[in-house]
Chain A
Amino acid sequence: MAQGWLQLVAFVAILIAMARPLGAYMAHVFRNERVFLTPIVGPVERLTYRILQVNPSDQQNWKVYARNLIAFSLFSWLALYLILRTQGIQPFNPAGFHSGPWDLSFNTASSFVTNTNWQYYGGETTLSYFAQMAGLTVQNFVTPAVGICAFLALTRGVISRSGEGLGNFWQDLVRSLYYVLLPLSIVVALILVSQGVLQTLGGAVTATTLEGANQTLALGPVASQIAIKQLGTNGGGFFNVNSSMPFENPTALSNFVEVLSIILIPAALAYTYGRMVGRTRQGWAIFATMLVVWVALVATIYPAEQHGTPAEHKAGSPTIALADSTGGNMEGKEQRNGITNSALWASTTTVTSNGSVNAAMESLTGLGGAVPMSGLGMSEVIFGGVGTGMYTMLLFVIIAVFIGGLMVGRTPEYLGKKIQAREIKLASLGALYTPLAVLVTSAAAIGTKYGSPSLFVRSGPQGFSETLYAYLSQANNNGSAFAGYTGFVQPDAPGNAHSYGITFADVIGGLTMITARFIPILFVLAIAGSLATKKVAPAGPGTMRTDNPTFVILLIGVIILVGALTFFPALLLGPIVQSLTTRLF
């Protein structure tokens, strides 16, 4: 195991080293300053504003900012839904796939417009290259940019000195896309192709194997989509088995780049925040909070997976490490990823809102499965989604400042802004909507007969975990899954004739994703508007510091407390039962 721990320590060290330069670069970009890409991107950027007919220097208040954000997302949803529903008549469809049914398309459109990338469909058996590129890849780019926009608006509300605006939505969107997401995607995509990730418009190829059987190799424009899928905390795979598919993630190098891409931008944004508020220690305090919880989760799941499962042990395998074999729970894991990198990925993809996987989540050990569910239960604030992680974390910061203020009997203030009843109400509602949505939807799916057609395992803690995970993942806009749970029935027929969606799962899931994305965003923007109008009070001896270890511990406590109070009873029924017993069900 020593080699595995060394890998994990090295990975964390590399992440910390990379977060700072990227974070500093993004701070320049989002303060609309000149960066090294400006000579190339600048003219395109200005042309874009002309096409959009916007003046990027127009400052927007929170209502205008929110209106633009919602309108853009709404039309994005419509475009994607239409693409999915008219797939049959589109180009780049060598396999001749039919258009999706309405309920599945509703779920998928809602999923990709909310940065969730929950997938009831199987990519290579359902979607044309056109739908993957012009539908899904586009949303993979714009949804993290929208997340960054909301984060920037909140940040500007925090630093505003005299009630100025929150910035310009279109400028923030375009700059996030052109200066951050697109350049990084191009680099990552090229690295991935060099490793063997597909990038072609050619149709599937049938090989005659050595044993004389036919094996059809599904191909497609994969690398371009996978790069942004990882970087934008999207997570929706080109293939059904996501990044465990060798064509999506073929080597140790590709795996390293992909898992680093999951967490790089969210980690760097914490530093960006520190730079933008003019106090890097504030950014580091948030970064430290995220780091501590993430490292604790990684350190839990890795030994759990190395231990193996009761089912494997009862089958007669001790799952111990041998010379040249990792041992451990290798069911649903790839040899090149092994235990270490599967565990690292599973925890990283769920504390961030990425949701891509390189191993089967449903085959994790009991305790191993509790780790991703805990990451989801903490509302994706531990690094979290691109932009979303930071703005949701700032909601928890506001709540922590309030609780800390109550404990020491001081007026709560954050970076010189008084936190008053209005902010606390908005922050609480924003932080509580998602957990509430999880509990209500999973209760509806478990408590009524409508949830059962989606189940793979129809009884016992595994079936419960499947359901709980499905709604935890969708409400938190994550997208990873205990993949036995389904909302789509796909008969083995040419071009997917006769396939149909499971309406209940598709609709309730879609509505959960949409509301849990945009309701918190609206609360965040409202807080931004409210903070922007407040005067800055100079820090005095009575000010509680928000950049020291004490505050980090307080913040961790608040996050865990909210998550644990909400989900502990539910987790008991699923993964915790499974980790405490060696009984088989």
Chain B
Amino acid sequence: MPAHSYPSRQLQFYGEGLPYLKNTEIKGRLIVIEGPDGSGRSTQIQSIIAKLESDGHAVVNTGLKRSELIGQGILDAKQKLPLGKKTLTLFYAADFVDQLEHKIIPALQAGYIVLADRYIYTLIARGIVRGLSSRWSHDLFGFAPKADLVFYIDVKPDELFHRVFQKYGTLDYYESGADIGFSDDLYDSFIQYQLRMAKQFAAMAKQYRMVRIDGNKSIPEVNTVLQSRIDEYLNKI
């Protein structure tokens, strides 16, 4: 089904939106894949894009830390000196909104399927797990448009650990929650952090209509589940 045939509708936000964009008409659809590093998220997104494009859909891929203006700045700042948790969350929010207004919303207006490699949910969960107020975190990201489909690829922390270690040979400082200080042992810290993130995602599932996908299965198996869910949704529009 060609993208331009989707019915148009008004942009809807999770909370206090962007007042100056409140009457924006969009024709595209927003699909989000969430999941920790090592959950196979990016691989899945590659296959989904290939399939959607071969079906004739126009697709835009987006993710975190990718804004031209701010993405690199976050990486540089993290290298230079440790950032506080509020600062970090706000920095990611600035990066996100820059992409939102320059890329995601224009693409939705033009009728693209926007496939987001993580969205606000990761940013909210990270902050809450680090002790930020849940209310503050959800309110902050109230400016985000509601997604049409959200998947969360859930993988057991033990399995995740092996995948990450095999892929990178090391654990990421923040993704192991080493900045929080759960444990001096990095393995321990990683497991505890991932457990808390998974728990936080589970707690947010209903509010954001997230569909949990069992990511402990093989890549092709997970792909079949994701793709059929997406096709089913797109065919119903």
Does B associate with A? no
Give me the interface of B with A, judged by CB distance under 8 Å: none
Give me the interface of A with B, judged by CB distance under 8 Å: none
